[in-house]
Structure 1
Amino acid sequence: MENSRKRKREALDAEKYKHTHQAPLGYGGEDDEGNEEGKEQAYEGPAECLQAIRSAFKSAPHVSFIGQYELDLDPLKTAKEEVRMVSHEIWQASGYKFRVHDNPKIATGYKTRYWCCQDEGRRQRPRPSQREGAVPRDNVGMKRFACRSRLIIACKLAAPKGGVSLKRTIRIAIEHHTVHVPYYDVSVPAEALDMVRENLDNATPNELVGRIQALFPQVTANQIHTAWTVMSEELWKRDDQQLTSAKLLMEDLSDDVEMFNVVIEDGVEQICWGMKRIARPLIGKVVEVGLDATFETNSRHLELYSVLAEFDNAGFPLSYCLLSTASAIEIGKRTRALTRWTTMLRDRYCLNPEFVHVDKDMAEISMSRTVWASAKIQLCWWHLRKALRERLSRAKLTTTPYNVEKAVGEFTFIDRGFIPFGRTDSGEHEGGQVDSDTVEMEMSTQENPNAVYLRITKAQKESVTTTRPPDTKAATLTIKLPARVLPETATASENANDDHSCRIFCPDDLRVQLVDMVELHFCAHPLIPGYAAPSAPGIRRWAVKQMYDFCVANDLREAWAYLWENWYRKGRWELWARLSMSTSIERFTDLPPMDSWRRIKKDFLHHFHKPRVDLLVWILVTKMAPAYYRKLDLATRDIGRFRELPSWRKAFKRDWKRALKKPITVPLNIKYRPDTYRWVCTCPHFSKSRFLLCKHLVQAAPPVEPIFFLEVTRNRTTPFWTHVSLQPMTDETKPGVKQPAQQPCEDVDSSDESESDEGACHQLFVAFEDQMKKRIDLLRDFAYGLEYQIQFRDHRFLQTVERQGGALFRLAEACQQRERRQNTTRGEGTTTWESSTAMFYRTRPCVADQGS
């Protein structure tokens, strides 16, 4: 049956070539072995035969080669292995790779027929994948050519000479009738696979890409990642079912992690674990945690959640959770699942932080309020700014439903007529849903926390005619000084046109101002002096009033409704304004897990298409965690050296140096009050600074040594930075204390000068002379160098000199012109205080007066 199918296939091939090509040797069912007899050229060995093949392919486009040679019988190699080795050598000699067609049976030895891999007539039909859910791909493949190819290699025992044969005969027949591009091998070499196998445990796929491609440029990054994934299965795959395999894997990694056996509802997929090698050393030391989720990390579409703890301004992962609630029908299922996970995390490691950083996901916020009821929920500024920019850039006018009565009941300066003109969108809420546990607002009018109240006691006149003691109940007069507010601007509704079709949500030129204003409100805190009462209610009233006045002045009705309902009303304001904790300020401003997600996706998951869950768990525990182990060990143990310090210290040093070089306008603005004792300043830059720095504080502080940037400690209350070198300054050097003006040395009476003053003047003169001589020598040497450049006539250098040295040339010309004007009797002379860059240039005497 097999032979009949083979003969039928060969007949079809011969029919296909009959009209377009000359049928090559071996088509049509002829006996190839018989065709070879008597035509082959005998060669002494394989080297001579391969050289003849190489010459044949180089000399002519049509190659018809038949040759044979003998080899010594190697008992360790079979005839089949010999044939395969010869085919590989022919590929190297000709540049064309041949693939196996069939293996006809012969009496003794082994025989294989090949076709050129790039032969158009021998293209294999694509076979669709049988996997369930497989998507067909438009893979074009390599270019094909009508080369009418054939290769036959046979290995037989040589004819014996008077006994047992100790030789093998290799017969080769080649047909190839078109010159085309050589075969480009895209397979991974065995040496590259060995490199992957040897570095499974100590290198990431991205690290291996550079090493392997340096030796084998044809290997792609996807091939390396695929090889790494397949070979590493023995390290992380425990079962065909992904969740079962992940649980078994964590049991094997029990020295590093511990699973949380939480109750799982119907329709919920959840697996969570704690990083005990990180969480246990941090018990009782965690003040801030960050919670965030990421997507598209595994083939089961489970969301990956993480809780990171802050220690020394750096984030360390305490626990991970893989969760999917797509098939559950109960309301609040995700919140309950997250609550069970974080509750076990809290109880297992005694985790009770003061700050919980989240994005604007209401399920995470509700969970945090339940598990850590006393903690301050703090929205990430990066997510807040992103949400604001996205909403302000959209043109649609429909906005969040605006409850004007509650707004007026809370702040009386809000006008009931300042409402959006268009319809509302009940589905537009930041966070995806309305927070049902929002505290109800009180409708009664509140007192202005920014007002000042004075109570004056009325003085009583003592009566001289009576001995009765004065009345102890003195009359009092109460005077209320209201907070200074801007004059109320007439609402846009008074002059609004009936046609509102040209309105937009927020003009382009106002978006940056609005976001900057929200950032200013985000950074305000009672510990930082500002423009409102140093209390949470006072700051909130100031922020709402400032934002409301800005929206009224620019007729941003829809924007005000959106801002009030999503950010400034009670229940939402407490989530993002950091002033709720009036006694301390958090260290994190952006969500810490975001950097961890970047590492996972960039270093490991970038080239994996939907990796398995167990592979993801293995990467998190064995590839990501060791770096955190090392950093935590160095942070909690004194080794006498400063190694692998958190990255924030470099950024802190950079900001400090930058603030040290910035000029300060003199006299200092009366609104700016730097206080190095408490390390606070009222300038706008201080509250927005990542490290609570400003040029006024940095330049008012004493000079610091390099070790300061390695040892300084950041606090959550005043003073925000402490170090032995940041001692409070004395009254003589403290900012704000006016120092007596120093007179120039030449204006001081010589009879009153002390020896120290004379020494100081002499030192200043010597320093000036040395500095001036250095500049003169530099210019003189540079002038000689310029003269040397004339012979090259390079106009590009001349243009560079004129462009970069323009200021110096203008100064030289001004000085020379001033000297010519003073040394001539014609024209108008120079004045003492004329506006010129050469005003302080002392001119040389004229030629007649030199030496006199």
Structure 2
Amino acid sequence: NTNNLKFELYVVHAEVDGIGVPLAYLFIENNGNCGNGVRTGVIIDFLVQLKTRGLKPDFFITDKDFAQISAARFVWNGIKVQLCLWHIKKAIEARLANNKKPQQINYNGIAAQQQFSFIDPLFSPSLTKEKIVFCPKEMRPLIWKMMNNHLHKHPLIPTIDGQFLSSASIWKMAVEEIYNFCKQNSLPWLWAYLWNEWYNADRWFLWFRAGCGDKLSIFKTNMFVEAHWKVLKRDFLYKFFRPRLDLVIFVIMEQVVPHNKRKFEQIFVVKREKADWRKAFKREWKELATRTLNNNVYFTDVNHWICGCPAFFISRFLICKHLIQKKGNVAIQFFDEVHRHYQYPFLNMLPIQIDNFRIFITRFEDFEGDNIFEANNLQACEELYNRLVDTTEKVLEILKDVNGISFKKDLNILEKIKQHCKHL
């Protein structure tokens, strides 16, 4: 809803020290003719432009839009797609509250048993005229609690008993837990839905953090993108109702992009401002530092910054009272210099590397001047080539009209030639 033509607006954000930095925008016409992979193809072309400019992300966070997912996995082979936690919860809660009976059954119990032997192929839904109870209301919070735990488990984070599980083991244990719950409570429709949409071999690694075994994404949601849309609409487009597409593009290029660049420079170059997450991090750190430790003993490693307690692996900042109190008192500048990382240690004061990001931005700006060469319009390229040839020939004609001796000795003539060349 950003323009009168109802073009869909996409944005690619990069994570830099825990904040989202917009890199590029894409408008796609939403006229109902984007089936058969057309939208996926357009997004692929868009992402390829970012890849050629040096963008090599480890994670791709999105909602459950398979056009975006397919495009990202095609452009960056091996990238970890991470579905937004907020969108997952919203989709799960909406489906659990819906008791409408499906028109057909797409669940294959035999195929599921071939992947996990503990699955009973006979435990499957059947089409009858009777009403179904998809999921009792009192059980819905339990389902989400289990799924939330499954999402957060990771091979780099120890379990309660101090073990480090592989990604495959985490997946198997999660499937077994959710399957046993559905079977014990006689909920075959719920099990069929969870298996088909979330837990089968083609879906689990899209939302489990364990889908990437050697790295852990700092972000769990794409709320920074939602916040960006809020800023765009309320701070820059608030005066316009369904503005023209060219006006939206003008506002983005002339106002939004410079605004984001200034914000980036204030945080990382001039360092007059702080990342938004640091205030919440400091508040949560101090609150956890005052909590009383119980008698439970968990595997805790301050050097790698990991803990086996249940609170650690679901924490937004990967902190818990055990690690904080084991680390002890910290200097006041700690909260301004601490950084989060994808790998061990998940938290330390080593400076982050933003040079690669600056190089990417520089390349991106350099390419803006050469975008005519990037276009697939051969006619435009041919016209530009002919203009360059004509200009060069005119310069040669001017030089031939000048006497060789005076050309080398007369400064006034050289200045006139320079002015002619500037004009051309």
Give the TM interval when normalised to the shorter protein: 0.7 to 0.9
| Structure 1 residue 539 corresponds to structure 2 residue 170 | yes
2:142 to 513, 525, 529: 513
Tell me the CA shift for residue 549 of structure 1. 1.2
Tell me the CA shift for residue 350 of structure 1. 1.0
Tell me the CA shift for residue 327 of structure 1. 5.7
Contact 1:325 1:333 (C-alpha < 8 Å) held by counterparts: no
Gaps of 5+ in 2: 351-424
| Structure 1 residue 690 corresponds to structure 2 residue 316 | yes
Map of 1:615 onto structure 2: 247
Structure 1 631/607 Cα, relative in aligned 2: closer, same or farther at 3 Å? closer
1:365 to 21, 46, 69: 69
Map of 2:206 onto structure 1: 575
The amino acid that maps onto 1:378 is Q
Aligned-partner Cα distance in 2 for 1:419–1:326: 39
User: Per-residue displacement from partner, 1:313-347 (whole Å, max 9, x unpaired)?
Assistant: 11111110111152637611111111111112211
User: Per-residue displacement from partner, 1:816-838 (whole Å, max 9, x unpaired)?
Assistant: xxxxxxxxxxxxxxxxxxxxxxx
| Superposition pairs of residues 49-60 of structure 1, within 5 angstroms | none
Aligned-partner Cα distance in 2 for 1:566–1:407: 13
> What SS does structure 2 have at the residue aligned with 1:389?
helix
Structure 1 329/360 Cα, relative in aligned 2: closer, same or farther at 3 Å? closer
Aligned-partner Cα distance in 2 for 1:627–1:703: 38
Structure 1 603/635 Cα, relative in aligned 2: closer, same or farther at 3 Å? closer
Map of 1:407 onto structure 2: 112
Aligned-partner Cα distance in 1 for 2:107–2:227: 37
Aligned-partner Cα distance in 2 for 1:678–1:331: 47
Map of 2:184 onto structure 1: 553
Aligned-partner Cα distance in 1 for 2:72–2:155: 24
Aligned-partner Cα distance in 1 for 2:100–2:240: 39
> What SS does structure 2 have at the residue aligned with 1:415?
coil
| Structure 1 residue 669 corresponds to structure 2 residue 296 | yes
Aligned-partner Cα distance in 1 for 2:234–2:138: 36
Aligned-partner Cα distance in 2 for 1:575–1:712: 29
The amino acid that maps onto 2:323 is L
| Structure 1 residue 389 corresponds to structure 2 residue 97 | no
> What SS does structure 2 have at the residue aligned with 1:552?
helix
| Structure 1 residue 650 corresponds to structure 2 residue 279 | yes
The amino acid that maps onto 2:181 is F
> Aligned residue pairs: how many?
346
Structure 1 400/301 Cα, relative in aligned 2: closer, same or farther at 3 Å? farther
Aligned-partner Cα distance in 2 for 1:325–1:611: 16
Tell me the CA shift for residue 582 of structure 1. 1.2
Tell me the CA shift for residue 618 of structure 1. 2.1
Tell me the CA shift for residue 306 of structure 1. 0.6
Map of 2:220 onto structure 1: 589
The amino acid that maps onto 2:16 is F
Map of 2:7 onto structure 1: 302
The amino acid that maps onto 1:709 is F
Tell me the CA shift for residue 623 of structure 1. 2.5
2:31 to 323, 326, 346: 326
Structure 1 615/569 Cα, relative in aligned 2: closer, same or farther at 3 Å? same
Aligned-partner Cα distance in 1 for 2:58–2:206: 14
Aligned-partner Cα distance in 2 for 1:533–1:679: 14
User: Per-residue displacement from partner, 1:650-707 (whole Å, max 9, x unpaired)?
Assistant: 1111111121122222xx214x222222211111111110001111111111201221
| Superposition pairs of residues 182-581 of structure 1, within 5 angstroms | 296-326=1-31, 328=33, 331-347=36-52, 349-398=53-102, 401-422=106-127, 500-501=130-131, 503-530=132-159, 534-581=165-212
User: Per-residue displacement from partner, 1:543-599 (whole Å, max 9, x unpaired)?
Assistant: 111111111122221111111111100111111111122111011111131110111
Tell me the CA shift for residue 392 of structure 1. 0.8
Contact 2:157 2:164 (C-alpha < 8 Å) held by counterparts: no
Tell me the CA shift for residue 533 of structure 1. 5.3
The amino acid that maps onto 1:692 is L
> What SS does structure 2 have at the residue aligned with 1:310?
strand
Tell me the CA shift for residue 620 of structure 1. 1.6
The amino acid that maps onto 1:395 is N
Aligned-partner Cα distance in 1 for 2:105–2:234: 37
Aligned-partner Cα distance in 2 for 1:713–1:533: 24
- When normalised by structure 1's length, the TM-score is 0.39
Aligned-partner Cα distance in 1 for 2:148–2:35: 38
Aligned-partner Cα distance in 1 for 2:333–2:90: 37
Aligned-partner Cα distance in 1 for 2:303–2:241: 56
The amino acid that maps onto 2:151 is F
| Superposition pairs of residues 143-154 of structure 1, within 5 angstroms | none
Aligned-partner Cα distance in 2 for 1:359–1:693: 26
The amino acid that maps onto 1:419 is S
> What SS does structure 1 have at the residue aligned with 2:21?
strand
Greater shift, 563-572 or 594-603, is seen at 594-603
Aligned-partner Cα distance in 2 for 1:533–1:707: 33
Contact 2:266 2:272 (C-alpha < 8 Å) held by counterparts: yes
The amino acid that maps onto 1:366 is S
The amino acid that maps onto 2:260 is Y
Task: Say what the alpha-carbon RMSD is for the aligned residues.
Answer: 1.9
> What SS does structure 2 have at the residue aligned with 1:574?
helix
Map of 1:483 onto structure 2: none
Structure 1 662/704 Cα, relative in aligned 2: closer, same or farther at 3 Å? same
Aligned-partner Cα distance in 2 for 1:697–1:594: 32
Contact 1:354 1:376 (C-alpha < 8 Å) held by counterparts: yes
- When normalised by structure 2's length, the TM-score is 0.78
Contact 1:400 1:565 (C-alpha < 8 Å) held by counterparts: no
Structure 1 511/583 Cα, relative in aligned 2: closer, same or farther at 3 Å? same
Structure 1 330/422 Cα, relative in aligned 2: closer, same or farther at 3 Å? closer
Map of 1:660 onto structure 2: 289
Runs of 4+ displaced beyond 6 Å = none
Aligned-partner Cα distance in 1 for 2:169–2:94: 30
> What SS does structure 2 have at the residue aligned with 1:669?
coil
Structure 1 406/529 Cα, relative in aligned 2: closer, same or farther at 3 Å? same
Contact 2:303 2:345 (C-alpha < 8 Å) held by counterparts: yes
Aligned-partner Cα distance in 2 for 1:604–1:329: 29
Tell me the CA shift for residue 627 of structure 1. 2.8
Aligned-partner Cα distance in 1 for 2:33–2:98: 33
Identical pairs, percent: 38
User: Per-residue displacement from partner, 1:198-245 (whole Å, max 9, x unpaired)?
Assistant: xxxxxxxxxxxxxxxxxxxxxxxxxxxxxxxxxxxxxxxxxxxxxxxx
> What SS does structure 1 have at the residue aligned with 2:205?
helix
Structure 1 411/555 Cα, relative in aligned 2: closer, same or farther at 3 Å? same
| Structure 1 residue 627 corresponds to structure 2 residue 259 | yes
The amino acid that maps onto 1:662 is R
User: Per-residue displacement from partner, 1:798-820 (whole Å, max 9, x unpaired)?
Assistant: xxxxxxxxxxxxxxxxxxxxxxx
